[in-house]
Amino acid sequence: MDILLWKARIKPGKEDLTREWIDFLRANKEEGEKTLKNEKEHLEIYFIQQEKEEAYLYLFVLADDLEYASKVAQSSGNPLDAKHFEYMMSCLDPEGYVQLKPELVLGDMSVFS
């Protein structure tokens, strides 16, 4: 099981586009959840946070295998995935992100089997 938290800096001036992206995901939630199942992802949780002068997108992900999930999403040909990646490339600074792995996970992980 892979569990990660990404912190990505939102490009200056792209805050409204980032909210549009989240609204797009929300509007397509049912289809998005189908793609997650296909990718063997259990959760994607998005947060937007203003910190001093910069805005950040936090993304918490829980998946069986994130490498597998990424490969499936990138090669799916699904228009939802394509639009999601388009927003990601437009909104997030590719050099301004941090990937965090948990030190400890508590709870009943069997619910994700």
- Quick one: pLDDT band at residue 112, thresholds 50, 70, 90? confident
- pLDDT above 70 as % of the chain: 99
What is the average per-residue pLDDT within 94-101?
Answer: 91
Instruction: Render the burial of 4-24: b for 16+ CB within 10 Å, e for the rest.
Output: eeebbbbbeebbeebeebeee
For residue 60, what are the β-bridge partners? 5, 45
The residue with greater pLDDT, 53 or 110, is 53
Residue type present at position 27 = A
Does residue 97 surpass a pLDDT of 80? Answer: yes
Most confident of 37-41, 55-59, 95-99: 55-59
Measured in degrees and rounded to the nearest 5, phi and psi for residue 107 equal 125, 175
Q: pLDDT for 40-86, tens place per residue? A: 999 999 999 999 999 999 999 999 999 999 899 888 888 988 899 99
CA dihedral 20, 89, 42, 99 (to 10 degrees): -120
| Number of CB atoms found within 10 A of residue 41's CB | 23
Residue 17 pLDDT greater than 90, yes or no? yes
27: pLDDT strictly greater than 80: yes
| Calpha distance 108→62 (Å, rounded) | 13
pLDDT above 90 (res 108): no
Which domains, and CATH codes, for the chain?
2-103 (3.30.70.100)
Helix or strand or coil: residue 106? coil
